[in-house]
DNA sequence: TTGTACGCGTTATCAG
DNA sequence: CTGATAACGCGTACAA
């Protein structure tokens, strides 16, 4: 028993406390805690023992303060264009980059076409030469996967944001479980439609976007399980843009004039609603993301429910995750899980 | 123009930069930034100008590090007893108290009976004498309001958690908009019930809990607006406990044997479901909070949807808010808004 | 009214 | 392999 045991310890234990308890210097304790090389096995053991005994947790604020090097993070997002969710995500990333964990990251955001595999892969490879970490909206394509694997192999951690690149060596995917989101959509549509039999149309941005495809898969799956009387009779792609979406929907409505419900898994919802209004249709509609585009549609009842993810949370999480990777810190899993939220007119945030 | 303008500034501006730019010392810049007295008006102006020019934002981590005093925060939560949500909230508070903003708060959690106004008021008053700030699950009662006003008047900030005490001088309410939550419940129940006419039962913990009453109000309101064919024909109180809830529900089922749906605004849902199972009833059920009690009920389909708030988020937010008040920092409103989430079997987190 | 100087807990450099 | 020690950005006694 040391003297330290005798006084009531209100202050969290510091690395000095650990060093003292282990009978080593601060520097050595630091080496052990940060798993740096050059310490005898026996010494490592003693320090780790002290850490455990004292319940030491390193003070992230102080660590950040002391670290000299600033890390460069490249953010690869699609041109916002007609997609307000991406615009908001970009803004959220910029905000997060000078607060909290992002504080000493130099974030550069670059537009990258998320619909085209080769350009995105090239952008990732190039970013890997100038940045210490990458945060990118993914695209599920071999070229992109290889690009990610290449930069990760060079020691540049990559976090995929919103749309994953499964099978790649990315450090982590930051976004919702899109299959679950699709299931939720099916569940809501089915119940909102009152269990009636009927036809459903699905609108995607593109089948190449992993998030959209996952949503569709989950949607079909849950529909088959729970609402076997409802059929998906058409899937169209609108490139996440209002104009293209409007055209695509108008076209399919010629063949399927009275859909029971519509699941819009991508952006471009204003176009969808225009196409419906033209024909004076009022099917049950479930769409994604809360944006200046979708908000009034939900309020006015043109959209029945929105399935959303919080871009602010995603941005902070992505930066926390790469920051942790870069500095060898742990993360609180619970805080990083991005939720599938459901918005009705009644729980719309201001 | 100073020399600083000529180099590219990757590093966020520090207080030193501000001081230099304004031609004052670090200490003076600090006084202005933290609104401490003893600075000439003209000097204040110059410093504020510099802050604006440079876009200075103080480094919270460093500020926390430098501050000597540790603040004592008292947490007043009801005895967890049969209420697993409160148990989780308590755990979340403890975790949050040694991470991030909570890092240099000394949190003491004390059980306080949230169903009894006088004991809670007494606990608040007493806490006000030993703590620098208070985080408490509220009760909407004049005695509690007065207790809060009294300790706040003494300079002890109070944050109400989960259940508010409206009209009191509390610094802030940290929790969901319960009226909106009730509206969401009505919306879901109505639509899940397929627009059919029928009777609805509501189960509360107690009418004295502000959060439960708000939920009921919002529920009735939205029901009247959107589903005029559905009537609330019974409201029972179960003290948030399974046993009492079971009894209360069993009793009312004798008078109203075939409810269309049930809205459970409080805890004790296991008891509710038992009472229903006894009579082999399967109405649409919407309840609150994801806990070890409700999770299996949602998975098995005994509960159709859960309306939840994230206790982890609430705990971190509450500590951030009092920490900010204690140290004069600002907060990011967007990050502090607690969301009304809807859980279906399909978007249940692990 | 303003400035100087030290310390907070951690990291990194440099000398043993 | 290990130990001193100087930063990091800010808060605060204390001096002027």
Does A168 lie in the same domain as A315?
yes
Q: Is B80 part of a structural domain of the chain?
A: yes
Q: Which pLDDT belongs to residue B81?
A: 75
Residue at B348 is within a domain: no
B328: which 2 tokens? 């004069």
Is the pLDDT assigned to residue B104 strictly greater than 90? no
Give domain status of residue B64, yes or no: no
Per-chain mean pLDDT for chain A: 92
Please give the pLDDT value at position A3: 34
CATH of the domain at A16: 1.10.260.40
Distance CA B93, CA B70 (A): 17
Look at A70 and B181; give whichever has higher pLDDT.
B181
pLDDT in tens, B43-93: 999 999 999 999 999 999 999 999 878 899 999 999 877 789 999 999 999
Selecting from A192, A194, A341 the residue whose C-beta is nearest the C-beta of B339 gives: A341
Longest dimension (CA), chain B: 84
- CATH number of A232's domain: 3.40.50.2300
Band (A5; pLDDT cuts 50, 70, 90): very low
Handedness of CA B39, B45, B51, B57 (dihedral sign): positive
Averaged pLDDT, A267-278? 96
Across residues B91-99, what is the average pLDDT? 93
Distance A77 CA to D4 C1' (A): 46
* Beta sheet of A172-174, edge-to-edge order: A105-111, A71-77, A133-136, A158-161, A172-174
Please check whether residue A265 is in contact with residue A240, taking contact to mean a CB–CB distance below 8 angstroms: no
The rounded Cα A189 to chain-centroid distance in angstroms is: 24
A196-219 as b/e: b if 16+ CB within 10 A:
eebbbbbbbbeebbbbbbbbbebb
Q: Looking at residue B114, what is its pLDDT?
A: 82
Which of A61, A70, A191 lies closest to B65 in CB terms? A61
Could you tell me the two tokens for B205? 């913990």
Q: What is the DSSP string of B199-250?
A: EEEEEES-TTSHHHHHHHHHHHHHHHHH-TTEEEEEEEE-TT-HHHHHHHHH
Is A100 found in the same domain as A44? no
Task: For residue B163, give how far its alpha carbon lies from the nearest alpha carbon of chain A (Å).
Answer: 18
**Over the stretch B301-349, which tens digit does the pLDDT of each residue have?**
999 999 999 999 999 999 999 999 998 888 888 899 999 999 999 999 9
The verdict on residue A182 lying in a domain is: yes
Could you tell me if A203 and A165 lie in one domain?
no
Question: Is residue A8's pLDDT more than 70?
Answer: no
Are A96 and A120 members of one domain?
yes
Closest residue (CA to C1') to nucleotide C2 in the complex: B28
The DSSP symbol for B4 reads: G
CA distance between the termini of chain B: 57
Strands B305-308 and B341-343, by their bridges, are antiparallel
Asked if B257 and B283 sit in the same domain, the reply is yes
**Tokens standing for residue B97:** 């108290």
One domain, residues B152 and B255: no
Distance between CA atoms of B110 and B93, rounded to whole angstroms? 12
- Say yes or no: A54 and A77 in one domain: no
Nucleotide D2, nearest residue via CA and C1': A28
Q: Straight-line distance from CA A92 to C1' C3, in Å?
A: 40
Tell me if A201 is assigned to some domain.
yes
Q: Which residues contact B186 (CB under 8 A, 6 or more apart)?
A: A346, B218, B219, B220, B221, B222, B223, B226, B227, B263
Contact B35, A94 (CB under 8 A): no
Q: Which residues pair with B256 in a beta bridge?
A: none
Long-range pairs for A22-30: beta carbons < 8 A, 24 or more residues apart: A22/A46, A22/A47, A22/A49, A22/A50
Least trusted range by pLDDT, from A4-8, A157-161, B155-159: A4-8
- CA–CA dist A132, A253 (Å, integer): 49
Distance B159 CA to D9 C1' (A): 30
Indicate yes or no: CB of B340 within 8 angstroms of CB of A347: yes
B269 pLDDT higher than 70 = yes
- pLDDT tens digits, residue range A202-235? 999 988 889 999 999 999 999 999 999 999 999 9
User: Quick check: A104 pLDDT over 90?
Assistant: no
- DSSP notation for B336-350: HPPP-EEE-GGG---
Asked if A151 and A251 sit in the same domain, the reply is no
* B11 lies in the same domain as B99: no
| pLDDT value of position A348 | 93
pLDDT in the model for residue B2: 35
Running DSSP on this structure, what letter comes out for residue A82? T
User: What are the chain A neighbours of B195 within 8 Å (beta carbons)?
Assistant: 194
Q: Tell me: the pLDDT tens digits for B3-40?
A: 333 334 478 899 999 999 999 999 999 999 999 988 99
Tokens of B126: 């007493």
Beta carbons of A86 and A38 less than 8 angstroms apart: no
Region B153-177: what's the mean pLDDT?
Answer: 96
Query: Residue B34 has what DSSP assignment?
Result: T
Per the CB < 8 A criterion, the answer to whether B239 and B115 are in contact is: yes
- Decide: A206 and A220 in contact? Cβ < 8 Å: no
Contact (CB, 8 A) for B144 and B124: yes
pLDDT value of residue B238: 94
**CB atoms A346 and B65 under 8 Å:** no
In this structure, are B167 and B209 located in the same domain?
no
Strand D lies under 7 A from the Cβ of residue A16? no
Tell me which residue has tokens 């007893």.
Answer: B81
Which pair of structure tokens corresponds to residue B258?
């075939």
User: In total, how many domains does chain B have?
Assistant: 3
Residue A345 lies in a domain: no
Chain A with chain B: Cβ pairs closer than 8 A: 104
Q: Report the residue from A184, A316, A334 with minimal CB separation from B344.
A: A184
Question: Is the residue at B253 inside a domain?
Answer: yes
SS3 B198: strand
B218 and B265 Cβ atoms separated by less than 8 Å: no
| Calpha distance A192→A186 (Å, rounded) | 10
Write down the pLDDT at residue A7: 35
B86 shares its domain with B43 = no
Do B331 and B263 fall within a single domain? no
Cβ-contact B318, B93 below 8 angstroms: yes
pLDDT computed for residue A83 by the predictor: 86
Among all protein residues, pick the one whose CA is nearest to the C1' atom of D9: B62
Distance CA A273, CA A294 (A): 10
What was the pLDDT predicted at A261? 96
Mean residue pLDDT of chain B comes to 92
Identify the helix (H) or strand (E) that includes residue B95.
helix B84-96
Domain ranges, residue A258: 178-308
Half-sphere exposure of residue B243: CA atoms within 13 angstroms, side-chain side: 2
Residue B65 falls within a domain, yes or no?
no
Instruction: State residue B10's pLDDT score.
Output: 73
Residues 6+ positions from A322 with CB-CB distance below 8 Å: A71, A73, A105, A133, A134, A135, A157, A159, A171
Q: Which nucleotides of C are covered by protein (CB under 7 A)?
A: 1-5, 7-14
Is residue B223 a contact partner of residue B230, using CB atoms and an 8 Å limit? yes
pLDDT tens across A9-20, in order? 478 999 999 999
Pick the last residue of a domain from B58, B83, B98: B58
Q: How confident is the model at residue A100 (pLDDT cuts 50, 70, 90)?
A: confident
């Amino acid at each position: 028993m040391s003297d330290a045991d005798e006084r009531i310890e209100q202050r969290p234990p510091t690395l000095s406390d650990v060093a003292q308890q282990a009978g080593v210097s601060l520097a050595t304790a630091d080496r052990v805690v940060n798993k740096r090389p050059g310490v005898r096995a026996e010494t490592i053991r003693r320090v780790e023992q002290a850490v455990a005994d004292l319940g030491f947790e390193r003070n992230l604020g102080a660590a950040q303060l002391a670290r000299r090097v600033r890390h460069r993070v490249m953010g690869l997002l699609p041109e916002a264009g007609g997609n307000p969710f991406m615009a908001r995500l970009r803004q959220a990333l910029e905000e997060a980059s000078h607060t909290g964990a992002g504080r000493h990251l130099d974030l550069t955001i670059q537009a990258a076409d998320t619909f085209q595999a080769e350009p995105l892969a090239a952008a990732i490879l190039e970013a890997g030469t100038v940045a210490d970490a990458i945060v990118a909206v993914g695209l599920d394509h071999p070229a992109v996967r290889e690009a990610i694997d290449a930069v990760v192999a060079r020691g540049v951690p990559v976090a995929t944001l919103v749309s994953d690149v499964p099978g790649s060596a990315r450090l982590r995917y930051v976004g919702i479980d899109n299959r679950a989101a699709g299931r939720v959509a099916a569940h809501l549509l089915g119940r909102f439609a009152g269990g009636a039999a009927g036809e459903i149309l699905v609108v995607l941005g593109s089948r190449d976007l992993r998030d959209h495809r996952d949503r569709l898969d989950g949607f079909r799956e849950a529909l088959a399980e729970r609402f076997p009387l409802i059929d998906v009779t058409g899937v169209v792609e609108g490139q996440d843009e209002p104009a293209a979406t409007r055209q695509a929907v108008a076209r399919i409505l010629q063949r399927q004039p009275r859909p029971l419900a519509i699941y819009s898994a991508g952006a471009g919802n204003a176009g969808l609603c225009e196409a419906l209004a033209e024909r004076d249709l009022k099917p049950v509609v479930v769409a994604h993301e809360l944006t200046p585009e979708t908000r009034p549609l939900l309020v006015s009842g043109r959209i029945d429910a929105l399935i959303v993810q919080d871009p602010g949370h995603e941005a902070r999480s992505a930066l926390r995750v790469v920051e942790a990777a870069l500095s060898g810190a742990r993360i609180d899993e619970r805080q990083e899980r991005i939720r599938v939220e459901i918005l009705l007119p009644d729980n719309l945030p201001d």
